[in-house]
Amino acid sequence: MSDEPADLSDQPPLVRALLLARYTLVIHSGMRAVSEGETWKLDFSKQIAEIDAALQGAGIDTTKPMLAPVRW
């Protein structure tokens, strides 16, 4: 495993989309949500596991760090 962040530009569009979705879910999983006075913890672990299985089945390393998708 390399410490160099993954470059999404060299990935096919479907893989890019799945990696970006995974990144977004990982960032938000564990956050607290509040609505109408109720508070709960977001848990996307099942969805992250499903995306990981799909990416790993395609030979994509999901343990490699990824740069944050920042628009300038």
In this predicted model, what pLDDT tens digit does every residue of 3-62 receive, in sequence order? 666 667 778 899 889 999 999 999 999 999 999 999 999 999 999 999 999 999 989 888
Q: Which residue has the higher pLDDT, 23 or 68?
A: 23
User: Please, which pLDDT band fits residue 66 given cuts at 50, 70 and 90?
Assistant: confident
pLDDT of residue 3: 62
Which helix H or strand E contains 34, and what residues bound it?
strand 32-35
Neighbours of 44 (CB within 10 A): 19
pLDDT of residue 68: 73
Residue positions counted in the chain: 72
Is pLDDT above 60 for 1? no
